[in-house]
């Protein structure tokens, strides 16, 4: 019998454990929950953002804005979640491209004082994608004779390569309606949770800003 290929059980176990650990490390997403965050091209970075597809949906009604823009700054941060940026200005619709709904024109007015806060939570290094949320959102909306406020949070993801900030909602990050006037009957009422979706492209003097997370 050839005994040259035999290895002690302890050695085999160690090799097996090391291989399993290596596979687990390779399968794990890079910097899944970072604690150090760096923005580019520098910190702070001022940006502008433009969207052509923002929609606020509530009770089956879509309030759509063919144009929306925002501006603010991004900056380095530590922690998780990490406050990596602010939205200091936000506008929805324009005189030539107003926001619309099935029941009439829509006039959203954003309250960005204080600024809406961009919080980073996860970062996938290979794809250059950061996920997180925006908190402190506040806006007043008028639809014909209906007025109401919307406050809360939205979930976001950001892609460095394209500068695209995508907005969505989930069970954790929600918007809430308050101060609905009598003219809102059959449309919206206090306590409703509208969804807000859209994608913004960020620009910083001709380049897309970046958000990178490292460490755990």
Q: What global pTM score does this model have?
A: 0.84
DSSP 90: E
Phi, psi (deg, nearest 5) at residue 90: -150, 130
| Residues constituting the chain | 216
Most distant CA atoms of the chain, gap in Å = 93
Question: Which segments of 77-160 are extended strands (E)?
Answer: 77-78, 82-92, 99-101, 104-110, 116-124, 129-143, 146-159
pLDDT in tens, the chain (216 residues): 444 444 443 433 333 344 433 333 333 444 578 999 999 999 999 999 999 999 999 999 999 999 999 999 999 999 999 999 999 999 999 999 999 999 999 999 999 999 999 999 999 999 999 999 999 999 999 999 999 999 999 999 999 999 999 999 888 999 999 999 999 998 999 999 999 999 999 999 999 999 999 987
Task: State the residue for tokens 């890079």.
Answer: 30
Q: How far apart are the first and last CA of the chain?
A: 51
**Helix, strand, coil fractions of the chain, as percent rounded to 5:** 10, 55, 35
């Amino acid at each position: 019998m050839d005994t040259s290929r035999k290895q002690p059980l302890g050695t085999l176990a160690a090799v097996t454990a090391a291989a399993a650990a290596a596979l687990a490390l390779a399968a794990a997403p890079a910097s899944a929950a970072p604690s150090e965050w760096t923005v580019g091209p520098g910190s702070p970075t001022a940006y502008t953002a433009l969207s052509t597809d923002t929609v606020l949906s509530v009770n089956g009604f879509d309030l759509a804005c063919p144009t929306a823009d925002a501006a603010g700054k991004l900056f380095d941060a530590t922690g998780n979640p990490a406050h990596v940026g602010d939205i200091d200005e936000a506008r929805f619709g324009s005189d030539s491209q107003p926001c619309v709904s099935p029941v009439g024109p829509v006039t959203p007015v954003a309250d960005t004082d204080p600024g809406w806060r961009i919080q980073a939570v996860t970062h996938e290094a290979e794809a250059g994608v950061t996920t997180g949320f925006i908190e402190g959102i506040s806006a007043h909306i008028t639809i014909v004779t209906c007025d109401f406020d919307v406050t809360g949070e939205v979930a976001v993801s950001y892609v460095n390569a394209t500068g695209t900030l995508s907005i969505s909602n989930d069970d954790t990050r929600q918007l809430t309606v308050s101060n609905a006037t009598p003219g809102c009957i059959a449309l919206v009422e206090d306590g409703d949770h509208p969804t807000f979706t859209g994608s913004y492209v960020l620009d910083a003097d001709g380049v897309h800003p970046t958000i990178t997370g490292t460490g755990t």
